[in-house]
Amino acid sequence: MMDSKERILRQINENWGETPQSKLCATILDYLLQFPANQLAHITYGRLRNIISTHYKDSDLLLAIQYLIGDGTKLLEVGFELIEEDDSFPYPLANSEVKLAKETGELYHPETGEIVDDYESKVFMYFKPSYLFESISK
């Protein structure tokens, strides 16, 4: 694990240098490596925000997250879920469903097949470990 972690940290440093994103990526990686990958199946933006120092801007964190889900590192993957006001049960959504909803302006409920009113306020993004992260966290 140390070899892979060190390699990823070197890559982060080569790509970002002494920037807030470099520090944020390293902090997030260290945090995630504290847990088995199967305990990290649902990482919210709020959870990531809570593990970093409060003096970082949201824009810095968003750039770091974008880097961690990008092809360069691919440590995290994006997931989506539908949560309706009257129902606390989250319905998982395929990335393709969310993409189609953005293109057409309509999201079909995964269970009922009906069009979801004001779907933008009911679809939430989360993150999960990628296969690469799972391989270094063992």
Tens digits of residue pLDDT in 40-70: 889 999 999 999 877 889 999 999 999 999 9
Residues 100-136: tens digit of each pLDDT = 999 999 999 999 999 999 999 999 999 998 888 877 8
What H or E segment, with its residue span, contains residue 16? helix 2-16
Report the DSSP beta bridge partners of residue 80. 93, 125
Q: Are 45 and 62 in contact (CB under 8 A)?
A: no
CA atoms within 13 A of residue 123's CA, in its CB half-sphere: 22
Residues in the chain: 138
- Supply the pTM of this predicted model: 0.82
